[in-house]
Structure 1
């Protein structure tokens, strides 16, 4: 596929008339969640720099509760944890502790650094989430678009957990929405204008090229109905890769007309996606 075709296929913004109202809704719904859940702990540091912080929304029921860790998208260069707590009212009422992770953004931060920060957040949660009613043995990571990529990096196998003092299987499951799992096509299109990946960085940060999650790991996949062919193909290929490795893969069809940016709102109510997530966390 040539550069022009790759630019079209990986231009998520072009699949909607205007992303700004949807991004504004992320922030408005998250502000509403904070107002509705006064026990939320906002801006807790997990590392030494300002972007290394997270927000915790404790479960409505007594713990230890499974932990839903959401990593926002934005092509690694947009958004914040302040835009990422919109699912907390629904999921905390269902018995989950919800965490929204923040991280430094490209191009100021490399993808290697962004992945390092997300892994550091996971390590922090293993050591600290019990103080907030969460169960570190039941951490379920989730993300959309670039956040789907980062969640997949946390679910991937390999020896990286041992370097952080984590157990070999540091996450109990994952929800991956319209994610990016093979980064070489992005290196060859407009996305690399801010990501600045070389070939080696694209390889080491591609979940499709890393050891899969442990056999039996529950994984929920969904991709928006109006995505481009490449986004749909990436999800299909990663789901197949994980299923072949023995993971418990659930593919949830997105609603008709859903787009790259609004699919995450399916986590906010009793939808097929939300039900699948709760089952994966042992709450249904």
Structure 2
């Protein structure tokens, strides 16, 4: 199994631009633009790190973002405040992700980004947020997170994600722990999972591809199988792609079987 040091020891590619969507240092997006005149298909990318800024930020996705740029895709790699940062947790982490996604619609014409060919890709905790962004149209109107006419996102590729926050909070064997979920959803309010976890929002009405390493020690494999069953029962088109002999790091490491499979899904979704 690869380690994070195996990934971060590689030469780090550099984004083409960084755009701000708010005043905090984490309120930013890295834009990766391929060569050519466009218009470019777009990957809206969401990093993981157990929803904690101290564990990871958007730079963890630099290597796969560079790989996608070389393949001709623009990448909108968002950052957000984790639960361990002032203003993070509920509702800040979710509002940050939403604002970063909404900025894409504003800036797309300036950078010749083709939003008719848009896919969201999220890793680990970012897989949860990518699905949540695609499901914003399903949020209860009474939620502080609700906004009318959010950016439409379809499909979503989830790399070792945690879609079901209630299940995550009840699973001490998950690599993020359980206390972080309480900070993320705000357990001191009524129905804290209703507007934060994915199962209460089903059906999302979007294509979902789950890519999971069979030997992932951070995200229990049952998270994928259990969520697929829930989503399919609700009527969503969900496919689970199991990569053998694969852990968590391989999912965002170019050249691995896991990332090669994910790239194939992305390329196929964004093809003209």
2:30 alignment partner, one of 55, 58, 72: 55
RMSD over equivalenced CA pairs, Å: 3.0
Q: Distance in 2 between matches of 1:281 and 1:165?
A: 26
Question: Greater shift after overlay, 260-269 or 47-56?
Answer: 260-269
Q: CA deviation at 1:267?
A: 7.7
**TM-score of the superposed pair, with normalisation by structure 2:** 0.80
Verify: 1:174 aligned to 2:156, yes or no: yes
Verify: 1:258 aligned to 2:238, yes or no: no
Change (3 A) 1:70 1:193: closer
Change (3 A) 1:229 1:51: closer
Change (3 A) 1:95 1:229: closer
Change (3 A) 1:88 1:243: same
Change (3 A) 1:244 1:186: closer
Change (3 A) 1:281 1:238: farther
- Show the counterpart of 2:192: 201
Local SS of the residue matching 2:49: coil
Q: Distance in 2 between matches of 1:282 and 1:247?
A: 22
The 5-angstrom pairing of residues 126-145 of structure 1 reads 126-145=105-124
Check whether the contact 2:46–2:79 (CA below 8 A) recurs between aligned residues: yes
Change (3 A) 1:160 1:278: farther
The 5-angstrom pairing of residues 2-151 of structure 1 reads 19-22=3-6, 25-26=7-8, 29=10, 32-34=12-14, 40-42=16-18, 44-77=19-52, 78-108=55-85, 109-151=88-130
Local SS of the residue matching 1:166: coil
Q: Distance in 2 between matches of 1:200 and 1:264?
A: 33
- Show the counterpart of 1:12: none
Q: CA deviation at 1:130?
A: 2.4
Check whether the contact 2:40–2:74 (CA below 8 A) recurs between aligned residues: yes
Q: Distance in 1 between matches of 2:263 and 2:255?
A: 5
Q: CA deviation at 1:195?
A: 4.4
Verify: 1:183 aligned to 2:162, yes or no: no
Structure 1, unmatched stretches of 5+, are: 1-15
Check whether the contact 1:145–1:180 (CA below 8 A) recurs between aligned residues: yes
